[in-house]
Amino acid sequence: MQIGEIRVDAISDGTFVVHPTYFGDGVARPEFFARDGFAWLPIGCFLIRAGERTILVDAGLGPDQDELPEGMRLVGGQLFVGLGALGVAAGDITDVVITHFHTDHVGWLFDLAAEPVFPNAVIWYGAADWDYFVNGPGDIRAHIRDGLLAHADRQHPLTHDTAIAGGVSVVLTPGHTPGHLCLEIASGNESLLLLGDAITCPIQLSEPGWHSYGDVDAAAAQRSRDGLWERLRSTPGVGAHFPGLAAGRVGSGINWVTD
C-alpha cells in the first residue's frame, strides 16, 4: 500500500484458527467459519517505510504455537520470510510499535534468552499494557516479560496519542487490552488506519454483537470499535486478523468495501 510518500506492506507471521465461540455464544455464520466450522485468519504485522524510519507494527507470535479452547490455535514463525521478501533485515528496523501485549503480537520482540530480536529498534506501546501484562495478571511469555524488564531503556510507553514519525501517529484505543493502540498513517491526501485487534474482523460491522474472546474490557472495546467504524467511513483501515490483510472501509449502510 502506498500512502502518499509512505509505503506500508502487510506481512503474516502465521495462522489464527478461530472457532465461532471466540466471538461469543450463539454465533452462526457458516460462510465465514467455512473450514470444518473454523475460520482461518492471518497473524498480521505491517512494515512502514517513512523517510529514514523502518517501522514494524506488531511482532507476531514468533516461532511458537498456542493452543486455545474449542480447538482454536495460533501458529507463528513466518515474519522473517515476509521481511526477507521485502529485502529487510532485523537490523534495518528502527522502531517496533506494539498495538497490544497479547502473545500473537509480541512474539518476535525478544529471543528465548530475552535479547532483542531487532537490535537497533526502539519499542512503542500503550503504558497501560505494561501495568496489566508485566506487573499485573495478563498472560505473557516469561522471556518476553524478562526482555521488557531488562531493556526498558529502549522503550517508549505511551499515555496519550502521539506522533512517532513524520506521517505516523499512535491513537490509544483501550478495551481489547488496557493499553491497546492503533496507528494512523497520513501523507499527502491519503491516510490509512492500522487497527491491531481493536476490530478483529470486518464481519463485526454487520454483526455488532460479536465481541472478542480476548477483550479485557468488553464495554470499553465496544466503545473503541464504534469510534473506529465511524472513522472508517472516510479513512481505509486494516486489522491484524483481517482476511488477506486487505484494507477496506465502511461503505453505505453496513457494507464493508475493500480497496
DSSP 120: T
- The Cα angle at residue 88 between residues 140 and 115, in degrees rounded to 5: 35
Q: Distance between CA atoms of 56 and 185, rounded to whole angstroms?
A: 13
Q: Take residue 157 and report the three cell numbers written for it.
A: 510507553
Name the burial class of residue 55, with classes exposed (0-12), middle (13-18) and buried (19+) by CB atoms within 10 angstroms of its CB: buried
User: CB under 8 Å to 259, separation ≥6 — which residues?
Assistant: 236, 246, 247, 248, 249
Q: What are phi and psi of 38, to 5 degrees?
A: -125, 155
Q: Distance between CA atoms of 45 and 239, rounded to whole angstroms?
A: 9
Mean pLDDT by 10 residues, the chain (259 residues): 97 98 92 95 98 98 95 98 98 98 98 98 98 97 98 97 97 98 97 98 93 95 97 97 97 87
- Three-state secondary-structure class, residue 36: coil
Taken in order of first residue, the domains within the chain and their CATH numbers are 2-187 (3.60.15.10)
What are 113-117's contacts with CB under 8 Å, separation 24+? Answer: 113/143, 114/143, 114/144, 114/146, 114/147, 114/150, 114/151, 115/147, 116/147, 116/151, 116/154, 117/59, 117/90
Quote the pLDDT of residue 64: 97
Quote the pLDDT of residue 259: 75
Contact 27, 20 (CB under 8 A): yes
Quote the pLDDT of residue 254: 82
Contact 122, 155 (CB under 8 A): yes
Quote the pLDDT of residue 57: 98
Query: What is the model's pTM?
Result: 0.97
